[in-house]
Chains A and B, each alone.
Chain A
Amino acid sequence: MERRDFFKISAITGAAATLDACGKPEQQLIRFIPDEDLVPGIATWKPSVCTLCPAGCGLTVRVMQGDAEVVRNGKLGLIRMGLAKKLEGNPQHPVNRGKLCARGQAGLQITYNPDRVRHPLKRLGARGSGEFQEISWDDAVKELVSQLSTLGQKNEAGSVAFLTRPLHGQRRTLVEVFLKAFGAPAPVSYELFDEAVLRRANLLSFGHAQLPTLDLARARYVLSFGADFLGTWNSPVAQAIGYGEFRQGRPGLRGKFVQVEPRLSQTGANADEWIPARMGSEGMLALSLAHVILNQKLRPSSPGHAASLISGWAQGLPDYAPEKAEKLTDVPAAKIVELAQEAASHEPAVGVVGGAPLAQANGLATAIAVNALNELLGSVDSPGGIFFTAAPPFAAGTKLPEPPERSQGRFGALNAVLQEILLDRPHSPKVLLLHDVNPVFAAPPDAHVQAAVEKVPFIASFGSFVDETSVLADLILPDHSPLESWLDDVPESGLLAAVATVAPPALYALYNTRAMPDVLLDVAHQLGGNVSASLPWKTYDEMLQAAFADVEKKAGAKSGDIWKKAQADGWWSSGEGSAASGKSRLSTSGTPSHGAVTMSEPQFDGALEEYPFSFLPFASTMLYDGSLAHLPWMQETPDPLSTAMWGSWVEINPRSAERLGIRQGDLVEVTSQHGKLQAPALLSPGIAPGVVAMPVGQGHGNFGRYAGHRGANPVSILAAAVEPETGALAWAATRVKISRVGEGKLILFAGGMRENAAEDENR
Chain B
Amino acid sequence: MRARKFRHSALILASTGLASLAVLGALASRGSEGAVSPPQVDASQVFTPAHRTALDAVREFFLRHPVPVQPIAYTHKVHLANGMQCVNCHTGVDTGPDAQLPSIKLCMMCHQAIATDKPEIKKMAAYYERGEDVTWQRVYNYYPSAHVKFNHAPHIRAGVDCKVCHGDMTQATVAERVVNMNMGFCLDCHKQRKVSIDCTTCHF
Report A's interface with B, CB cutoff 8 A. Answer: 1, 5-25, 28-34, 37, 39-42, 72, 77, 79-80, 114
Contacts and interface: CB of A to CB of B under 8 A. Distances in A.
9 pairs of A and B residues whose beta carbons are closest in the complex: A14-B43, A41-B98, A23-B68, A40-B98, A42-B96, A41-B96, A39-B92, A41-B97, A31-B133
Contact of B66 (A8, A9, A23): A23
B136 to A, nearest CB: 8
A18 B26 contact: no
A25 B56 CA distance: 17
A9 to B, nearest CB: 5
Contacts of A37: 105
A224 B128 CA distance: 64
B40 interface: yes
Contacts, number: 124
Contact of B53 (A11, A18, A24, A80): A11
B51 interface: yes
A16 B40 contact: no
Interface string B1-37: 0000000000000000011001101100000000001
B94 to A, nearest CB: 10
> What band does the interface of chain B fall in when counting residues whose beta carbon is under 8 Å from A?
35 or more
Contacts of A31: 132-135
B49 to A, nearest CB: 11
A30 B53 contact: no
Given A11-B50, A25-B71, A40-B99, 18 more contacts: A1-B26, A9-B22, A10-B57, A11-B56, A11-B57, A13-B42, A14-B43, A23-B69, A24-B69, A25-B69, A29-B135, A31-B132, A33-B128, A37-B105, A40-B97, A41-B152, A80-B103, A80-B133
B135 A25 contact: yes
Contacts of B67: 23
Given A1-B23, A20-B138, A42 B133 contact: no
A40 B43 contact: no
B22 A10 contact: yes
Contacts of A39: 91-92, 95-96, 100
Nearest to B21: A10
Nearest to B141: A21
A16 B135 CA distance: 16
A11 B54 contact: yes
Interface in B102-157: 103-105, 128, 131-135, 137-138, 141, 152
19 contacts: A5-B26, A6-B19, A6-B23, A11-B54, A11-B56, A11-B57, A12-B43, A13-B41, A17-B52, A23-B66, A23-B68, A24-B68, A24-B137, A33-B131, A33-B132, A34-B103, A41-B97, A42-B97, A114-B45
B25 A9 contact: yes
Contact of B40 (A6, A13, A17, A28): A13
Nearest to B144: A21
Given A14-B42, A33-B103, A34-B103, A7 B96 contact: no
Given A21-B138, A32-B131, A33-B104, A42 B92 contact: yes
B38 interface: yes
Contact of A41 (B19, B45, B92): B92
A705 B194 CA distance: 52
B44 interface: yes
B133 A34 contact: yes
Contacts of A114: 45
Contact of B38 (A9, A16, A22): A9
B43 to A, nearest CB: 2
Nearest to B97: A41
Contacts of A22: 52, 66
Contacts of A9: 22, 25-26, 37-38
Contact of B105 (A5, A6, A23, A33): A33
A476 to B, nearest CB: 22
B96 A12 contact: no
Contacts of A10: 18, 22, 51, 54, 57
Contacts of A80: 103, 133
A725 B68 CA distance: 73
A24 B138 CA distance: 10
B132 A13 contact: no
A109 to B, nearest CB: 14
B43 A13 contact: yes
B88 interface: no
A17 B133 CA distance: 19
A12 B50 contact: yes
Contacts of B141: 21
A30 B104 CA distance: 13
B48 interface: yes
A25 B19 CA distance: 31
A28 B52 contact: no
B133 A32 contact: yes
B92 A40 contact: yes
A546 B134 CA distance: 42
A40 B135 CA distance: 17
B109 to A, nearest CB: 12
Given A34-B133, A72-B131, A40 B100 contact: yes
A759 B84 CA distance: 74
Nearest to B53: A11
Given A14-B43, A15-B43, A25-B71, A77 B132 contact: yes
B41 A16 contact: no
Contacts of A33: 103-105, 128, 131-133
